[in-house]
A and B are shown apart, each in its own frame.
Chain A
Protein backbone atom coordinates (compact mmCIF):
# COMPACT_ATOMS: atom_id res chain seq x y z
CA UNK A 1 0.00 0.00 0.00
CA UNK A 2 2.71 2.39 1.01
CA UNK A 3 4.77 1.53 -2.04
CA UNK A 4 1.85 2.33 -4.32
CA UNK A 5 1.31 5.68 -2.63
CA UNK A 6 4.96 6.60 -2.92
CA UNK A 7 5.10 5.57 -6.56
CA UNK A 8 1.98 7.63 -7.28
CA UNK A 9 3.50 10.61 -5.53
CA UNK A 10 6.71 10.29 -7.54
CA UNK A 11 4.76 10.08 -10.80
CA UNK A 12 2.64 13.07 -9.80
CA UNK A 13 5.74 15.15 -9.08
CA UNK A 14 7.25 13.99 -12.37
CA UNK A 15 4.19 15.09 -14.35
CA UNK A 16 3.97 18.45 -12.62
CA UNK A 17 7.67 19.21 -12.98
CA UNK A 18 7.89 17.96 -16.57
CA UNK A 19 4.81 19.60 -18.03
CA UNK A 20 5.37 22.74 -15.97
CA UNK A 21 8.93 23.14 -17.23
CA UNK A 22 7.78 22.61 -20.83
CA UNK A 23 5.00 25.16 -20.44
CA UNK A 24 7.42 27.68 -18.92
CA UNK A 25 10.06 27.28 -21.61
CA UNK A 26 7.63 27.47 -24.50
CA UNK A 27 5.83 30.56 -23.22
CA UNK A 28 8.81 32.50 -21.90
CA UNK A 29 11.46 31.23 -24.28
CA UNK A 30 14.97 30.14 -23.47
CA UNK A 31 18.37 31.75 -23.84
CA UNK A 32 19.43 29.06 -26.29
CA UNK A 33 20.91 30.46 -29.49
CA UNK A 34 19.81 34.03 -28.83
CA UNK A 35 21.64 37.09 -30.07
CA UNK A 36 21.05 40.12 -27.84
CA UNK A 37 22.16 43.60 -28.91
CA UNK A 38 20.96 46.40 -26.65
CA UNK A 39 17.23 45.97 -26.11
CA UNK A 40 16.90 43.65 -29.11
CA UNK A 41 16.94 39.87 -29.15
CA UNK A 42 17.02 37.65 -32.22
CA UNK A 43 17.13 33.90 -32.73
CA UNK A 44 18.86 33.59 -36.08
CA UNK A 45 18.88 29.80 -35.90
CA UNK A 46 15.08 29.54 -35.94
CA UNK A 47 15.26 30.21 -39.67
CA UNK A 48 17.56 27.25 -40.33
CA UNK A 49 17.37 23.48 -40.12
CA UNK A 50 19.47 23.39 -36.94
CA UNK A 51 16.93 25.20 -34.79
CA UNK A 52 17.06 24.19 -31.12
CA UNK A 53 14.25 21.94 -29.81
CA UNK A 54 12.89 24.62 -27.47
CA UNK A 55 12.42 27.14 -30.27
CA UNK A 56 10.82 24.46 -32.43
CA UNK A 57 8.36 23.61 -29.68
CA UNK A 58 7.55 27.31 -29.18
CA UNK A 59 7.05 27.89 -32.90
CA UNK A 60 4.63 25.00 -33.39
CA UNK A 61 2.79 25.71 -30.15
CA UNK A 62 2.15 29.35 -31.10
CA UNK A 63 1.52 28.65 -34.79
CA UNK A 64 4.27 30.96 -36.00
CA UNK A 65 6.14 30.84 -39.27
CA UNK A 66 9.72 31.87 -38.44
CA UNK A 67 11.52 34.02 -40.95
CA UNK A 68 13.95 31.96 -43.02
CA UNK A 69 17.66 32.77 -42.92
CA UNK A 70 17.85 33.37 -46.67
CA UNK A 71 15.06 35.90 -46.26
CA UNK A 72 16.08 37.91 -43.20
CA UNK A 73 16.25 38.06 -39.45
CA UNK A 74 13.79 39.30 -36.81
CA UNK A 75 14.80 41.21 -33.66
CA UNK A 76 12.26 41.58 -30.87
CA UNK A 77 12.24 44.03 -27.97
CA UNK A 78 9.79 43.91 -25.06
CA UNK A 79 11.87 46.20 -22.83
CA UNK A 80 13.75 49.44 -23.41
CA UNK A 81 17.50 49.95 -22.98
CA UNK A 82 16.98 50.48 -19.23
CA UNK A 83 15.20 47.07 -18.94
CA UNK A 84 11.86 48.82 -18.31
CA UNK A 85 8.94 46.98 -19.96
CA UNK A 86 7.54 48.87 -22.95
CA UNK A 87 4.33 50.61 -21.89
CA UNK A 88 1.77 51.75 -24.46
CA UNK A 89 0.75 54.72 -22.32
CA UNK A 90 4.28 56.14 -22.28
CA UNK A 91 6.30 57.83 -25.01
CA UNK A 92 9.01 55.55 -26.32
CA UNK A 93 11.63 56.70 -28.82
CA UNK A 94 13.42 54.29 -31.14
CA UNK A 95 16.34 56.14 -32.68
CA UNK A 96 19.64 55.68 -34.42
CA UNK A 97 20.64 53.48 -37.32
CA UNK A 98 19.93 49.91 -38.36
CA UNK A 99 22.35 47.22 -39.57
CA UNK A 100 22.99 46.86 -43.28
CA UNK A 101 19.89 45.45 -44.98
CA UNK A 102 18.06 46.05 -48.21
CA UNK A 103 14.81 46.71 -46.36
CA UNK A 104 13.68 46.69 -42.79
CA UNK A 105 10.30 46.92 -41.10
CA UNK A 106 9.44 47.89 -37.53
CA UNK A 107 6.14 46.51 -36.25
CA UNK A 108 4.26 46.83 -32.98
CA UNK A 109 2.51 43.77 -31.54
CA UNK A 110 0.69 42.99 -28.34
CA UNK A 111 2.26 40.30 -26.15
CA UNK A 112 0.44 37.57 -28.10
CA UNK A 113 1.88 38.67 -31.45
CA UNK A 114 -1.27 40.33 -32.77
CA UNK A 115 -1.35 43.76 -34.39
CA UNK A 116 -2.89 46.55 -32.33
CA UNK A 117 -5.93 48.32 -33.76
CA UNK A 118 -5.68 52.10 -34.20
CA UNK A 119 -7.55 54.76 -36.12
CA UNK A 120 -4.60 55.45 -38.42
CA UNK A 121 -4.36 51.82 -39.58
CA UNK A 122 -0.64 52.11 -38.95
CA UNK A 123 0.93 48.98 -37.53
CA UNK A 124 4.55 49.71 -38.29
CA UNK A 125 7.05 51.41 -40.55
CA UNK A 126 9.13 50.20 -43.44
CA UNK A 127 12.60 51.60 -44.17
CA UNK A 128 11.14 53.41 -47.20
CA UNK A 129 8.46 55.30 -45.31
CA UNK A 130 10.57 56.68 -42.53
CA UNK A 131 11.52 60.36 -42.32
CA UNK A 132 15.25 60.61 -41.67
CA UNK A 133 17.62 63.31 -40.51
CA UNK A 134 20.42 64.64 -42.72
CA UNK A 135 22.85 62.04 -41.33
CA UNK A 136 20.56 59.12 -42.20
CA UNK A 137 19.55 58.48 -38.60
CA UNK A 138 15.87 58.27 -37.77
CA UNK A 139 13.66 58.72 -34.75
CA UNK A 140 10.37 56.91 -34.30
CA UNK A 141 8.06 58.04 -31.52
CA UNK A 142 5.81 55.34 -30.14
CA UNK A 143 2.94 56.84 -28.15
CA UNK A 144 -0.81 56.55 -27.68
CA UNK A 145 -1.48 60.17 -28.75
CA UNK A 146 -0.35 61.63 -32.06
CA UNK A 147 3.19 62.96 -32.29
CA UNK A 148 5.03 64.83 -35.03
CA UNK A 149 7.45 63.01 -37.30
CA UNK A 150 7.42 59.21 -37.37
CA UNK A 151 4.57 58.38 -35.02
CA UNK A 152 3.68 54.78 -34.29
CA UNK A 153 0.42 54.52 -32.33
CA UNK A 154 0.16 52.05 -29.45
CA UNK A 155 -3.61 52.11 -29.06
CA UNK A 156 -2.94 52.72 -25.36
CA UNK A 157 -2.34 49.04 -24.54
CA UNK A 158 -0.32 48.34 -21.44
CA UNK A 159 2.40 46.03 -22.70
CA UNK A 160 3.64 45.67 -26.22
CA UNK A 161 6.52 44.29 -28.18
CA UNK A 162 8.48 45.76 -31.06
CA UNK A 163 9.84 43.68 -33.87
CA UNK A 164 12.53 44.93 -36.21
CA UNK A 165 12.89 42.69 -39.24
CA UNK A 166 15.87 43.03 -41.52
CA UNK A 167 15.43 41.66 -45.02
CA UNK A 168 18.28 40.59 -47.28
CA UNK A 169 20.92 41.26 -44.66
CA UNK A 170 24.34 39.88 -43.71
CA UNK A 171 23.20 39.85 -40.07
CA UNK A 172 22.55 36.29 -38.96
CA UNK A 173 24.04 33.28 -37.26
CA UNK A 174 27.60 34.71 -37.42
CA UNK A 175 26.67 38.06 -35.87
CA UNK A 176 27.86 38.60 -32.30
CA UNK A 177 28.12 42.25 -31.25
CA UNK A 178 26.85 45.76 -31.71
CA UNK A 179 29.78 46.46 -34.05
CA UNK A 180 28.51 43.89 -36.56
CA UNK A 181 24.94 45.05 -36.22
CA UNK A 182 24.34 48.57 -34.87
CA UNK A 183 20.80 48.39 -33.50
CA UNK A 184 18.70 51.47 -32.76
CA UNK A 185 18.34 52.66 -29.17
CA UNK A 186 15.00 52.17 -27.37
CA UNK A 187 14.27 54.74 -24.65
CA UNK A 188 11.19 55.58 -22.59
CA UNK A 189 11.12 59.38 -22.56
CA UNK A 190 8.01 60.18 -20.62
CA UNK A 191 5.00 58.69 -18.90
CA UNK A 192 1.80 60.56 -18.21
Chain B
Protein backbone atom coordinates (compact mmCIF):
# COMPACT_ATOMS: atom_id res chain seq x y z
CA UNK B 1 0.00 0.00 0.00
CA UNK B 2 2.74 2.40 1.00
CA UNK B 3 4.57 1.41 -2.13
CA UNK B 4 1.54 2.35 -4.27
CA UNK B 5 1.19 5.75 -2.58
CA UNK B 6 4.88 6.32 -3.10
CA UNK B 7 4.50 5.38 -6.78
CA UNK B 8 1.68 7.86 -7.26
CA UNK B 9 3.60 10.67 -5.54
CA UNK B 10 6.66 9.90 -7.64
CA UNK B 11 4.49 9.87 -10.77
CA UNK B 12 2.98 13.25 -10.00
CA UNK B 13 6.37 14.77 -9.22
CA UNK B 14 7.79 13.38 -12.45
CA UNK B 15 4.68 14.69 -14.20
CA UNK B 16 5.53 18.19 -12.99
CA UNK B 17 8.93 17.90 -14.60
CA UNK B 18 7.39 16.55 -17.82
CA UNK B 19 4.99 19.50 -17.81
CA UNK B 20 7.72 22.11 -17.34
CA UNK B 21 9.94 20.55 -20.00
CA UNK B 22 7.10 20.23 -22.51
CA UNK B 23 6.06 23.88 -22.01
CA UNK B 24 9.63 25.04 -22.56
CA UNK B 25 10.19 22.77 -25.57
CA UNK B 26 6.85 23.42 -27.28
CA UNK B 27 7.89 26.67 -29.04
CA UNK B 28 10.74 24.78 -30.72
CA UNK B 29 8.81 21.73 -31.84
CA UNK B 30 5.44 23.28 -32.78
CA UNK B 31 4.75 22.54 -36.45
CA UNK B 32 1.64 24.69 -36.85
CA UNK B 33 3.21 27.95 -35.71
CA UNK B 34 2.84 31.19 -37.64
CA UNK B 35 6.25 30.89 -39.32
CA UNK B 36 5.48 27.40 -40.62
CA UNK B 37 2.04 28.51 -41.84
CA UNK B 38 3.54 31.46 -43.70
CA UNK B 39 6.47 29.58 -45.22
CA UNK B 40 4.59 28.07 -48.22
CA UNK B 41 3.00 31.36 -49.27
CA UNK B 42 5.78 33.88 -48.67
CA UNK B 43 9.04 34.53 -50.46
CA UNK B 44 12.31 34.58 -48.58
CA UNK B 45 13.83 38.05 -48.12
CA UNK B 46 11.03 39.69 -50.10
CA UNK B 47 7.72 41.34 -49.28
CA UNK B 48 4.56 39.25 -49.73
CA UNK B 49 1.14 40.77 -49.17
CA UNK B 50 -1.40 38.65 -47.38
CA UNK B 51 -5.03 38.54 -48.48
CA UNK B 52 -7.28 40.55 -46.14
CA UNK B 53 -8.48 38.51 -43.17
CA UNK B 54 -11.99 37.09 -43.65
CA UNK B 55 -13.86 34.00 -42.41
CA UNK B 56 -12.86 31.86 -45.39
CA UNK B 57 -9.11 32.42 -45.13
CA UNK B 58 -8.12 31.74 -41.57
CA UNK B 59 -4.38 31.56 -42.05
CA UNK B 60 -3.63 32.63 -38.49
CA UNK B 61 -6.05 33.15 -35.62
CA UNK B 62 -6.79 36.59 -34.21
CA UNK B 63 -5.78 38.65 -37.23
CA UNK B 64 -7.13 42.19 -37.26
CA UNK B 65 -9.41 42.55 -40.33
CA UNK B 66 -8.97 46.34 -40.32
CA UNK B 67 -5.35 46.00 -41.42
CA UNK B 68 -3.59 45.31 -44.67
CA UNK B 69 -0.72 42.96 -43.81
CA UNK B 70 2.51 42.20 -45.63
CA UNK B 71 5.17 39.71 -44.53
CA UNK B 72 8.90 39.64 -45.10
CA UNK B 73 10.28 36.26 -44.11
CA UNK B 74 13.96 36.78 -43.59
CA UNK B 75 17.17 34.83 -43.41
CA UNK B 76 20.16 36.91 -42.41
CA UNK B 77 22.81 34.29 -43.10
CA UNK B 78 23.50 35.92 -46.48
CA UNK B 79 23.94 39.40 -45.04
CA UNK B 80 22.05 42.20 -43.36
CA UNK B 81 18.58 43.21 -44.48
CA UNK B 82 17.42 46.66 -45.49
CA UNK B 83 13.74 47.37 -44.90
CA UNK B 84 11.76 50.30 -46.29
CA UNK B 85 8.08 50.76 -45.53
CA UNK B 86 6.31 53.90 -46.73
CA UNK B 87 3.90 55.33 -44.17
CA UNK B 88 0.22 55.04 -45.08
CA UNK B 89 -2.44 57.67 -44.40
CA UNK B 90 -3.77 56.35 -41.13
CA UNK B 91 -1.36 54.16 -39.22
CA UNK B 92 1.54 51.94 -40.16
CA UNK B 93 3.56 49.61 -37.97
CA UNK B 94 6.39 47.15 -38.42
CA UNK B 95 6.82 44.25 -35.98
CA UNK B 96 9.73 41.83 -35.80
CA UNK B 97 9.42 38.21 -34.71
CA UNK B 98 12.05 35.53 -34.26
CA UNK B 99 11.71 32.09 -35.81
CA UNK B 100 9.72 31.08 -32.72
CA UNK B 101 7.32 34.06 -32.82
CA UNK B 102 9.02 36.03 -30.07
CA UNK B 103 8.02 39.67 -30.71
CA UNK B 104 11.36 41.33 -30.06
CA UNK B 105 10.77 44.73 -31.63
CA UNK B 106 7.96 46.84 -33.03
CA UNK B 107 7.86 50.37 -34.32
CA UNK B 108 5.05 52.56 -35.66
CA UNK B 109 5.02 55.48 -38.07
CA UNK B 110 5.03 58.09 -35.33
CA UNK B 111 8.02 56.72 -33.47
CA UNK B 112 9.82 56.40 -36.81
CA UNK B 113 9.02 60.08 -37.39
CA UNK B 114 9.50 60.01 -41.16
CA UNK B 115 7.48 59.39 -44.31
CA UNK B 116 9.30 56.12 -44.81
CA UNK B 117 10.19 53.69 -42.03
CA UNK B 118 13.78 52.66 -42.84
CA UNK B 119 15.55 49.99 -40.86
CA UNK B 120 18.61 47.78 -41.06
CA UNK B 121 18.12 44.33 -39.63
CA UNK B 122 21.16 42.25 -38.80
CA UNK B 123 22.35 39.62 -36.39
CA UNK B 124 24.41 40.64 -33.41
CA UNK B 125 27.56 39.27 -35.06
CA UNK B 126 26.97 41.32 -38.21
CA UNK B 127 26.36 44.41 -36.08
CA UNK B 128 29.67 43.89 -34.29
CA UNK B 129 31.44 43.58 -37.64
CA UNK B 130 30.28 47.04 -38.72
CA UNK B 131 33.13 49.54 -38.99
CA UNK B 132 33.26 51.87 -36.02
CA UNK B 133 32.55 54.86 -38.20
CA UNK B 134 30.71 57.82 -36.71
CA UNK B 135 28.68 58.33 -39.87
CA UNK B 136 27.46 54.78 -39.68
CA UNK B 137 26.11 55.23 -36.18
CA UNK B 138 24.29 58.40 -37.21
CA UNK B 139 21.01 58.85 -35.39
CA UNK B 140 18.83 58.48 -38.46
CA UNK B 141 20.18 55.04 -39.24
CA UNK B 142 18.13 52.61 -37.23
CA UNK B 143 19.79 49.24 -36.70
CA UNK B 144 17.83 46.35 -35.21
CA UNK B 145 19.58 43.27 -33.87
CA UNK B 146 17.77 40.04 -34.60
CA UNK B 147 18.24 37.37 -31.91
CA UNK B 148 17.90 34.64 -34.54
CA UNK B 149 19.11 34.42 -38.14
CA UNK B 150 15.62 33.69 -39.45
CA UNK B 151 12.30 35.24 -38.57
CA UNK B 152 9.36 37.30 -39.70
CA UNK B 153 8.81 41.00 -40.30
CA UNK B 154 5.14 41.93 -40.26
CA UNK B 155 4.16 45.23 -41.87
CA UNK B 156 0.67 46.51 -41.17
CA UNK B 157 -1.27 49.46 -42.55
CA UNK B 158 -4.60 50.43 -41.06
CA UNK B 159 -7.65 50.87 -43.26
CA UNK B 160 -9.72 53.07 -40.95
CA UNK B 161 -12.80 52.30 -43.05
CA UNK B 162 -13.32 49.25 -45.27
CA UNK B 163 -13.24 51.53 -48.34
CA UNK B 164 -9.68 52.58 -47.52
CA UNK B 165 -8.33 49.03 -47.73
CA UNK B 166 -7.02 49.39 -51.33
CA UNK B 167 -5.06 52.48 -50.30
CA UNK B 168 -3.53 50.70 -47.32
CA UNK B 169 -2.57 47.76 -49.55
CA UNK B 170 -1.08 50.08 -52.14
CA UNK B 171 1.14 51.75 -49.56
CA UNK B 172 2.39 48.35 -48.38
CA UNK B 173 2.99 47.27 -51.97
CA UNK B 174 5.64 50.00 -52.20
CA UNK B 175 7.61 48.53 -49.29
CA UNK B 176 10.76 46.52 -49.81
CA UNK B 177 13.11 44.27 -47.90
CA UNK B 178 16.35 43.14 -49.52
CA UNK B 179 19.60 41.58 -48.45
CA UNK B 180 22.49 44.02 -48.66
CA UNK B 181 25.17 42.11 -50.49
CA UNK B 182 28.18 44.42 -50.61
CA UNK B 183 27.83 45.74 -47.11
CA UNK B 184 30.92 47.98 -46.69
CA UNK B 185 30.39 49.88 -49.97
CA UNK B 186 26.74 50.53 -49.15
CA UNK B 187 27.63 51.83 -45.73
CA UNK B 188 30.15 54.26 -47.12
CA UNK B 189 27.62 55.90 -49.38
CA UNK B 190 24.56 55.60 -47.20
CA UNK B 191 25.12 58.69 -45.01
CA UNK B 192 25.59 61.00 -48.01
CA UNK B 193 22.53 59.67 -49.72
CA UNK B 194 20.40 60.86 -46.85
CA UNK B 195 18.66 64.20 -46.59
Contacts and interface: CB of A to CB of B under 8 A. Distances in A.
Interface in B55-73: 55-56, 58, 60-66
Given A26-B26, A65-B97, A129-B160, A13 B8 contact: yes
Contact of B58 (A6, A18, A103, A114): A114
B22 A66 contact: no
Nearest to B104: A49
Interface stretch (A53-61, A80-88, A176-184): A53-61
Contacts of B21: 18
A79 interface: no
Contacts of B100: 56, 60
Contacts of A13: 7-8, 11-12, 14-15
A114 B34 CA distance: 15
Interface residues of A, number: 62
A126 interface: yes
B158 interface: yes
A9 B25 CA distance: 24
Where chain A touches its partner, the secondary structure class is mixed
A54 B12 CA distance: 20
A67 B95 contact: yes
A9 B3 CA distance: 12
B62 A69 contact: no
A60 B96 CA distance: 15
A105 B58 CA distance: 19
Interface residues of B, number: 64
A102 interface: yes
Interface stretch (B105-113, B123-131, B176-184): B105-113
Contacts of B14: 10-11, 13-14, 17-18
Interface stretch (A89-97, A116-124, A132-140, A141-149): A116-124
B19 A21 contact: yes
Interface of B: 3-4, 7-8, 10-19, 21-24, 26-27, 30, 32-34, 36-37, 53-56, 58, 60-66, 90-91, 93, 95-97, 100-108, 110-111, 147, 152, 154, 156, 158-162
8 contacts: A18-B14, A18-B18, A22-B19, A59-B101, A68-B106, A69-B106, A107-B64, A123-B54
